[in-house]
């Protein structure tokens, strides 16, 4: 009784069974190794691209930008160079994609540029307010008839343009890009945006507001200056973004980015304005007390007393009325 293998053989053929892998067990492994090697090669090339991009970003940064980056690394806040290296390591480990890692580096670059712009705008505002104050004081002292608002705006525009152009020039002069400092187009753009920021800051600066007490003076001045700061920040942020788009061939207008930059500039303008206002209010109150002499003690005693204890015809009440009238006239 013999065994017939013909049916089995035909079933192998008709069923399409393939045992070539069993006969050659290394064939698939060779193919897999080739795929892994190609994938590793691609990965190394992309890691090189990411590192080159990060190096380019750091080369563009000068003294102020690098200082801000180091500060963020120390306090571990925001996106910084150290975190960008971490993102590259994450890509190498397969934890994030190449596009995600590149997006993080580009985000770091954009935020560094935005921070430098913000810093230079603050410098422009301080310079403009100082210049505007001096110009208006000189106008009053000389008995000039020009509108103080226009005088302040003109002085502020010049000071703001010089301040922003200087800050940005210093940052470019200390970066690793050859001949970047003397980029005429960039200097023009910085001066123009600085002039707009300076003119608005000087024109809306106002004066500190004195109150009957130090607390009142600080509160009134801080509130007034904070509102002014929001206005300045809004105009500064929006105008700077539009100017950047106009001068940069590679930058297209983006409504979302425009809104974010404007809102950020307005918020920081309000904070800076509030701080400046608090200082200004303190100085104005102390200046008033210095000129008021002993009237302060009288004013405090009247203010702390109940209405029935104030004698309308007393010298103290009369002096307090004079002090209060002066305060209100200054605050107007």
Q: Which of 321, 332, 299 is nearest to 208 (CA)?
A: 332
Is the per-residue pLDDT at 60 higher than 80?
Answer: yes
Q: 28-47: per-residue pLDDT in tens?
A: 554 444 434 444 556 789 99
Beta-carbon count within 10 A of 258 CB = 15
Sequence spans of domains, the chain: 112-292
| Residue 109 pLDDT | 94
Return the pLDDT at 314. 41
pLDDT > 70 in the chain, percent: 69
pLDDT of residue 74: 93
Mean pLDDT highest for which of 81-90, 130-139, 243-252, 280-289?
81-90
Residue 294 to residue 292: CA distance in whole angstroms:
6
User: What's the pLDDT at 206?
Assistant: 59
Let me know if 99 is exposed, middle or buried by CB neighbors in 10 A (0-12, 13-18, 19+): exposed
CA pseudo-torsion sign 268, 269, 274, 275? positive
Q: What are phi and psi of 9, to 5 degrees?
A: -65, -40
Which pLDDT value is given to residue 209? 56
Q: Tell me the pLDDT band of 54, cut-offs 50, 70 and 90.
A: very high
In the predicted structure, residue 69 carries a pLDDT above the cut 60 = yes
Q: Per residue in 70-79, pLDDT tens?
A: 999 999 888 9
**Mean pLDDT, residues 269-287:** 74
- Most confidently modeled of 22-31, 34-43, 45-54, 108-117? 45-54
Q: Between residues 93 and 276, which one has the greater pLDDT?
A: 93
What pLDDT does 178 receive?
A: 82
- What are the distances in angstroms from CA 98 to CA 39, 81, 83, 116? 13, 17, 15, 28
Q: What is the pLDDT of residues 162-180, one digit of tens each?
A: 999 999 999 999 998 887 7
C-alpha 122/C-alpha 129 separation (Å) is 11
User: What share of the chain in percent tops pLDDT 90?
Assistant: 28
Condensed to tens digits (0 to 9), the pLDDT of residues 209-249 reads 555 677 777 777 778 878 888 888 888 888 888 888 888 77
Mean pLDDT of the chain: 76
Structure tokens at 215: 């607390």
Give 132-166 pLDDT, tens digit per residue: 888 888 888 887 767 888 888 899 999 999 999 99
Which pLDDT belongs to residue 265?
A: 81
The span from the CA of 209 to the CA of 217, in Å, is 6
User: Does pLDDT of 111 surpass 70?
Assistant: yes
Q: Average pLDDT in the 62-75 region?
A: 93
Question: For the CA atoms of 192, 196, 197, 200, what is the dihedral angle to 10 degrees?
Answer: 170
C-alpha to C-alpha distance for 84 and 98, rounded to whole angstroms: 12
């Amino acid at each position: 009784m013999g065994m017939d293998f013909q049916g089995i053989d035909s079933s192998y053929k008709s069923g399409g069974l393939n045992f070539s892998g069993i006969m050659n067990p290394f064939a698939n492994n060779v193919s897999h190794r080739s795929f892994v090697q190609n994938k590793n090669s691609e990965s190394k090339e992309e890691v090189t691209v990411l590192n080159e991009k990060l190096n380019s970003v750091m080369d563009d940064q000068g003294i102020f930008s690098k200082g801000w980056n180091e500060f963020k690394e120390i306090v571990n806040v925001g996106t910084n160079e150290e975190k960008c290296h971490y993102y590259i390591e994450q890509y190498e480990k397969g934890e994030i994609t190449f596009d995600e890692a590149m997006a993080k580096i580009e985000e770091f670059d954009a935020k560094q540029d935005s921070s430098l712009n913000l810093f230079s705008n603050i410098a422009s505002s301080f310079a403009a307010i100082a210049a505007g104050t001096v110009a208006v004081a000189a106008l009053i002292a000389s008995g000039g008839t020009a509108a103080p608002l226009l005088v302040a705006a003109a002085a502020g525009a010049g000071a703001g343009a010089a301040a922003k152009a200087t800050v940005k020039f210093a940052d470019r002069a200390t970066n690793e890009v050859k001949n970047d400092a003397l980029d005429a187009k960039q200097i023009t753009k910085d001066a123009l945006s600085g002039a707009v920021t300076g003119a608005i800051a000087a024109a809306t600066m106002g004066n500190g507001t004195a109150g009957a007490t130090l607390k009142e003076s600080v509160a009134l001045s801080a509130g007034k200056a904070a509102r002014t700061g929001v206005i300045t920040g809004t105009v500064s942020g929006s105008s700077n973004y539009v100017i950047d788009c106009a001068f940069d061939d590679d930058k297209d207008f983006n409504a979302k980015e425009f809104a974010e930059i404007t809102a950020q500039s307005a918020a920081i303008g309000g904070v800076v304005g509030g701080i400046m206002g608090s200082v200004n209010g303190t100085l104005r109150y102390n200046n008033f007390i210095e000129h008021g002499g002993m009237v302060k003690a009288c004013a405090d005693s009247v203010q702390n007393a109940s209405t029935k204890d104030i004698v309308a015809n007393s010298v103290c009440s009369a002096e307090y009325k004079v002090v209060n009238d002066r305060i209100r006239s200054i605050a107007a």
